[in-house]
Chains A and B, each alone.
Chain A
Amino acid sequence: MNPGDLQAPDIEWVALSPSLVVFAAAVVGVLIEAFAPRSARYAAEVVVSSVGLAGAFAAVVALAANGHGTSKSQIAGMGSLAVDGPALFLQGVTVLVGLVSVFLFAERRLEPVAHGARVDSFAAQPAAVPGGKAEQEAVRAGHTTTEIFPLLLFAVGGMLLFPAANDLLVLFIALEILSLPLYLLCALARRRRLLSQESAVKYFLLGAFASAFLLFGVALLYGYAGTTSYAGIADVISGEPSHMEPGLASTMGNDALLLIGGAMVLMGLLFKVGAVPFHMWTPDVYQGAPTPVTGFMASATKVAAFGAMLRLMYVVLPGLQWDWEPVMWGVAIASMVAGAVIAITQTDVKRLLAYSSIAHAGFILSGVVAVSEDGVSSVLFYLGAYSFVTLGAFAVVTLVRDAGGEATHLSKWAGLGRRSPLLAAVFALFLLAFAGIPLTSGFASKFAVFSAVAQSGGMGLVIVGVLASAVAAFFYIRVIVLMFFSEPRPDGPSVVIPSPLTMSVVGVAAAATVVLGVAPQYFLDLADQAGVFVR
């Protein structure tokens, strides 16, 4: 081969179609922002995003039906991305969550009509100084930020790559693609803009820090293995390197690099899932971000990041199980306990859900630690079930409002069950699912994870998990008490009747919660079939 000849990369377009479709839709979204008139943007963006995500979901289903998740699983994109069971399962979940989130983002009936225009829960002019003149003008003109849709699509695209990444550099790139739009989205709340901007800055700074850790870890692992591909690193760990990199002869195979590098990459991922001790950002960001964004972030990011973590642990680091297992045990236990205990003292619904998500990160982590096929499929199932409950819960939060916008302080929720029994009942359903009460999806998923852990000999983890569940149940129940058994406050919030968009989100989430609780077999089967990683 002459030096001038460039070999065209060999891309499996079909196998990568889900993420390609999403990115294409995102690009179209950007073009709409650039060229479409302001009045047409909202409708065009909603249609493009929905169609794009629905198309991506269809692509995932088609791939899975074709056996790409099982017999035909492969490494695509010149070794950069895996197309296998776990990747397709998580991509399916992510795309669905994204699709439902589009509906939440597009909701325009909650905010009072401003100067004749229906507006959503995002800032009219995000670049304007909060409370400044430019903002007032933008509000008066009835502007809305339709850029949220392409941002959402880019984030979803990153999330599709994240659990499929089969190369550390692709992992890092996917992380950045999914994170940057999220940082922005966090800053876009229409009300309480300072809080929102603060949360975005916090998320950005800490997130950048975590990304740096991850990147540093990638560098160290490269120094250890001479390659960034997962399979290549695994080969070096198992002592069968495919080739020696002459320039790295002094560091290759140095276990110190492996341990430190692996730990740093893990740290980056643990930050994204919000596990203790990398959880500090969670409550502030969850509280400050616009609630639709919080719902999206809380469910989809977790799905993607746990997917990436699973692949890293099962493909790259299985040979190191003895080294990382105790640490991960510790992280899982700390997350379960800290999340559950700290949540007790919370007085804000969004912060409460944030701490509950930390506890749930612990539950899921314990499934990750159960290094078995059952462990993988139970984690997959948990992620699917949990993401819909989360999305539904945050969707309900967007509906409970008073004059100041969303009434997130818990005391304002007193007696909600009397004013709007149906909504309170649905929220109670979500809380019971979080608490893991039988006949909800939360129980089925918790049971799946804990039984996988018990079978791999982690009875101690199960017991801690069960006790943490008991503590967690306390604060979920407390909210139910507040809603049903307390007298309504005269100045309490009212429940806004939303458009069919939000209603469908709540409906889908409630249906998923019940179906996955009562008849989980089909989805457990799916997760079971998807439990094998390609190498």
Chain B
Amino acid sequence: MSFPLLTATAAVPAIGAVATAAVPAARRTGAKWLALAFSLVTVGFAAAVLLRFDTGSGADRFQLTESHSWIEDFGVRYELGVDGIGATMIALTAVLVPFLIGAGWNDADPVEGEPQATRRWRPTQGFFALILMVEAMVVLSFAATDVFLFYLFFEAMLIPMYFLIGGFGDRAGEQGEEGQARQRSYAAVKFLLYNLVGGLVMLAAVIGLYAQTADQLDAGTFSLQAILEARASGDLDFSTGVERWLFLGFFFAFAIKAPLWPLHTWLPNAMGEATAPVAVLITAIVDKVGTFAMLRFCLGLFPEASDWATPVILVLSLVSILYGALVALGQRDMKRLIAYASISHFGFIVLGVFAMTSQGQGGATLYMINHGIATAALLLVAGFLIARRGSRLIGDYGGVQKTAPVLAGTFLVGGLATLSLPGTGPFVSEFLVLVGTFSRHQAVGIIACTGIVLAALYVLVLYQRTMTGPVRAGLEKLPDLRVRELAVVTPLIGLLLFLGVYPKPLTEIVNPAVEHTLSDVHQTDPEPQIDVSEVEAAE
């Protein structure tokens, strides 16, 4: 038996979480270094996953597979395996987490002057342990090829996320400690309830799927591969109505997670109240499980229903793109602005997934990665700024580029990447999504393009209002980025530029997986409408 690489990639952060949580209260700094070390080891394992992944033409679809019996009664197996999409998403997760730990280094330190009566309360240890816990669960949900196993981690990760949002926030702003705590627990509960309801609806669909397989096959199964094979061979055949209901059950959960308009309202609350690293964790990593799952489960398991629902989903993603961008324009709160920008971007991702073309889906996958990195860069710098001034309101800032030029510069680069400037990673992916959409749904593609214009608007206006102009009172002595902060931001920006210029390593891994997904839904790319020979003749 070969080394269980995927399990190890998830086990490292899980062990790290336990180890970090066990560090005594006085050794706070040690706990931080321990968490960072574990997250870096995870990066090593994720790199090994990428390296071991075979992109050759005859390679298996799911690689690095592991399969063990777990709960035979429910037909549940511990089955892991990655296709190109899963492998890159695991890599994204593993790469981002060390930066989040670095950025949140001091976020969970006990407040000065807090009564020490609570000797056993160890928030710092808890903060980093929870982050690592989320990482482990996200990796497992990217790697699970058993529907039940996926569901398990999809739901279970809500609990550590919930404590991260509700338990830790920015330093008290104008609302005071009390008001902020109330806002925060509201955001945490909203996050949990939205996602829990989505998850429970999906649970009904999961059970329904099981009942179908138990009915038609020898034994009920949740194995994605087994179900795909049975569907291909015709052993397993859903009636139209059943397939649509099951699809809706799954899609509802993923659309909440992703989040798609009109199920998005939890995201601005959660991202606004959480600390910047946790907000990045939500939007750049956890939410990606939703869009990833649309590709893997919705399209793979329910191709006909996906096709049936495509028009509605395209419209919803268009609304997300435009609504998210417009509302972002109107925000006074920096983190909420970025949250709405993310909603707009998730619209693009879902658009790419359901465009049902290889460019669209390949672009959507790249988009997930690039959006993760770009948002991380922008949001983390915003978090540094907020930590300096103690306010999230855009109106409290102005002229920062004069006092803290490096901070302003990195903020600008992150912003430009967010608006998909050519030369940065997001441009490639957004372009591919739009091309992929355009080749099948012209009108949709055209409308989606306006999202780009709006993105330029909200990013640049944000930059203009916070960074340029006269220096606001109270900001004269704003310190510039420290070494730790630079160490967090610089590699992210480097990564963005690298992927903008040279996305080939990613596309090579992702493309075969996209082809498989497309063939699941019985789709091929539309033929080019212009005959190449005619063009040549005309010349």
Contact = CB atoms under 8 A, between A and B. Distances in A.
Nearest to B123: A418
Interface SS of A by simple majority: helix
Given A455-B211, A477-B192, A485-B184, A448 B203 contact: no
Contact of A470 (B159, B166, B197, B208): B197
B200 A467 contact: yes
Given A477-B189, A485-B184, A421 B208 contact: no
Interface in B335-394: none
Contacts of A485: 166-167, 181, 184-185, 188
Contact of A474 (B120, B193, B201): B193
Contacts of B204: 450, 459, 462-463, 466
Interface stretch (A97-105, A188-196, A356-364, A521-529): A521-529
A459 B200 CA distance: 14
A467 to B, nearest CB: 7
B193 A477 contact: yes
A419 interface: yes
B211 A448 contact: no
B294 interface: no
Contacts of B112: none
A374 to B, nearest CB: 9
A487 B70 contact: no
B203 A420 contact: no
Contact of B185 (A448, A462, A466, A481): A481
Contact of A437 (B122, B155, B167, B193): B155
Interface string B76-120: 000000000000000000000000000000000000000001101
Interface string A399-428: 000000000000000000011111000000
Interface string A450-465: 1100110001001100
B236 to A, nearest CB: 15
Interface in B165-199: 166-167, 178, 181, 184-185, 188-189, 192-193, 196-197
Given A437-B155, A438-B155, A484-B167, A451 B210 contact: yes
A447 B207 contact: yes
A432 B181 CA distance: 22
Nearest to A524: B73
A494 to B, nearest CB: 11
A466 B211 contact: no
Interface string A499-527: 00000000000000000000011001100
Contacts of A462: 204, 207-208
A487 to B, nearest CB: 7
B156 interface: yes
B443 interface: no
B120 A422 contact: yes
Contacts of B220: 451
A525 B122 CA distance: 41
Contacts of A419: 117-118
B151 interface: yes
A450 B202 CA distance: 13
A450 B204 CA distance: 8
A487 B207 contact: no
A473 interface: yes
A466 B252 CA distance: 14
Contacts of B152: 438-439, 443
B214 interface: yes
Interface string B209-253: 011001100001000000000000000000000000000000000
Given A467-B200, A486-B185, A524-B73, A481 B166 contact: yes
Contacts of B166: 481, 484-485
Contact of B200 (A455, A466, A477, A487): A466
B201 A455 contact: no
Contact-residue bracket for chain B:
35 or more
A418 B208 contact: no
A438 B246 CA distance: 20
B502 interface: no
Contacts of A525: 72-73
A473 B196 contact: yes
A469 interface: yes
Contacts of A484: 163, 166-167
A72 interface: no
B1 interface: no
B207 A420 contact: no
A448 B74 contact: yes
A454 B208 contact: yes
Interface in A189-236: none
A38 interface: no
Contacts of B196: 470, 473, 477
Interface string B120-141: 1110000000000000000000
Given A439-B156, A470-B197, A473-B196, A418 B118 contact: yes
A140 interface: no
Interface string B380-420: 00000000000000000000000000000000000000000
B211 A451 contact: yes
Interface in B410-460: none
B167 A520 contact: no
A9 to B, nearest CB: 40
Interface-centre pick from A474, A477, A485 (highest chain B CB count, 10 A):
A485
B312 interface: no
A478 interface: yes
B120 to A, nearest CB: 6
Contacts of B158: 437
B168 to A, nearest CB: 10
A447 B185 contact: no
A413 B106 CA distance: 29
Contacts of B189: 477-478, 481
Contact of B71 (A466, A478, A520): A520
B207 A454 contact: yes
A254 B189 CA distance: 56
A466 B203 CA distance: 8
B74 A437 contact: no
Nearest to B154: A438
Given A421-B121, A438-B151, A451-B74, A481 B188 contact: yes
Contacts of A528: 73
Nearest to A378: B73
Nearest to A528: B73
Nearest to B204: A466
A346 B74 CA distance: 35
A447 B76 CA distance: 12
A443 B149 CA distance: 13
B207 A450 contact: yes
Interface-centre pick from A438, A444, A447, A525 (highest chain B CB count, 10 A):
A438
Nearest to A422: B120
Contacts of A437: 155-156, 158-159
A258 B155 CA distance: 46
Contacts of A455: 210-211, 214-215
Contacts of A481: 166, 185, 188-189
A528 to B, nearest CB: 7
Nearest to A419: B118
Contacts of B201: 466
A454 B74 contact: no
B154 to A, nearest CB: 8
Q: When A and B form their complex, which 7 residue pairs have the shortest distance between CB atoms, in order from nearest?
A: A524-B73, A485-B185, A454-B211, A438-B152, A466-B204, A466-B200, A438-B156
Given A477-B162, A481-B188, 19 more contacts: A418-B118, A419-B117, A420-B120, A437-B156, A438-B156, A439-B152, A451-B210, A451-B211, A454-B208, A459-B204, A463-B204, A466-B201, A470-B196, A473-B193, A481-B166, A485-B166, A485-B181, A485-B184, A486-B185
25 contacts: A419-B117, A422-B120, A437-B158, A437-B159, A439-B152, A439-B156, A447-B203, A447-B207, A455-B211, A455-B215, A459-B204, A459-B208, A459-B211, A462-B204, A477-B196, A478-B189, A481-B185, A481-B188, A485-B167, A487-B178, A520-B73, A521-B70, A521-B71, A524-B71, A525-B73
